[in-house]
Copies of this chain bind each other. A is one copy, B any other.
Amino acid sequence: MDIRSYVLGKAMDAKEGARAIARVSSEGKNNALRQMAEALRRKRRELQRANKKDIEFAKGKGLSGALIDRLTLTDKRIEEMAKGLEEIAALPDPVGEVTKMWKRPNGMMVGRMRVPIGVIGIIYESRPNVTADATALCLKAGNAVILRGGSEAINSNRAIVRVLRDVARANGIHEGVVTFIDIPEREAIMEMLKLEGLIDLIIPRGGEGLIRTVTENSRIPVLKHYKGVCHIFVDRDADLRMAEDVCFNAKVQRPGTCNAMETMLVDEKIARRFLPGMIRRFRSAGVELKGCARTRRIDRHVAPAKEEDYYNEYLDKILNIKIVKGIDEAIAHIERYGSAHTDSIITKDYSKAMRFLKEVDSSSVFVNVSTRLSDGFQYGLGAEMGISTDKIHARGPMGLEELTCTKFIVIGNGQLRE
């Protein structure tokens, strides 16, 4: 098969879908989403039959248990997918919202109106639930989606897509609105990434390797984050009890997530008071600690941290501890080793809190809050399409608004240029 023309055909289909969905009313989109949820529930057995093929294949290939777990469409996961679609149906429609409007001296009104982006390409790995989640978010924001999931989930994804497209068609919406790249070759990704003009935006979701490949090869704008090397800086003016609770939560509550803390920076002025209790608490939770030389003078059982450890996203119960001279060194450390994901300061000092908020150049900057709260749902966005650490279009968790842009509208009564 000619992969280039296959992908091109798919993208043209998606473009037709984008034209169609852009004009569907909020009610029409919400009805379709709710029917998609119902259809996923109804076709549960069919989805699980397809899913079984993927699982057997994965087992045959000797893939890890964790991967097979991620791949598996249990009853609970299918119900969660369906509920997810219903929740997105219940959110306000961003399209058509006029975010601002003002009057000019000549009497004309100038405003910004939210409009869909067009065709959004999602490139992801093994979780088949992304197929439904990402589709629902794109559709709700008036966009078509072109999906390229991991080859190990291709049967599951195909089955989910069939359900979603059937509902679209039954609602009179062009099926191209949910377009699926149904071939496993990696070359298909490369072909997708060349189709600027047909695909308007690419969102890769998965490990750093996938994301780097996408970013380095794309001629289409990409929104992404590579990894989450999140910091908490415990300032000398912190409430140390709060600091302990927040740092513990940020490391231990769910260490495998991108918003978990990877390095704790401690002001030298309070290190001797703060660290012993904190270290005891981390140890009691089985956290492996690596520290700078000064930390190890306070607790010699802490392993030495190497330079490269500070760049690491452990995604595990491992933590770097570094003692710093104060806020300047903390900010410099974050700038150097951080990933612009989420960084927090614990302090009671107003001016340092404000400085940290202003000067730390990350996509989410916190005062006295656990980094684990960096998330579209926690922020109240109602949904999350991933997190961007870029500086164009979106920075931080992306919700429905980030899947739109705003055009200008001008309403007048005969205004001319003088």
Contacts and interface: CB of A to CB of B under 8 A. Distances in A.
A212 to B, nearest CB: 12
A373 B408 contact: no
Contact of A369 (B239, B396, B411): B411
Contacts of A396: 406-408
A359 B361 CA distance: 38
B365 A415 contact: no
A293 interface: no
Contacts of A254: 417
A364 B410 contact: yes
A195 interface: no
A96 B215 CA distance: 29
Interface string A89-133: 000000010000010100010100101011000000000000000
A358 interface: yes
A118 B406 contact: no
A380 interface: yes
A22 interface: yes
Contacts of A373: 108, 410, 412, 415-417
Nearest to A102: B380
A245 interface: yes
A397 B254 CA distance: 44
A108 B369 contact: yes
Interface stretch (A30-38, A173-181, A310-318, A387-395): A387-395
Given A369-B415, A370-B415, A408 B393 contact: no
A395 B406 contact: yes
B249 A417 contact: yes
A360 B80 CA distance: 37
Contact of A361 (B115, B245, B378, B394): B115
Interface string A353-389: 1000111011111111110111000111000000000
A221 interface: yes
Nearest to A414: B242
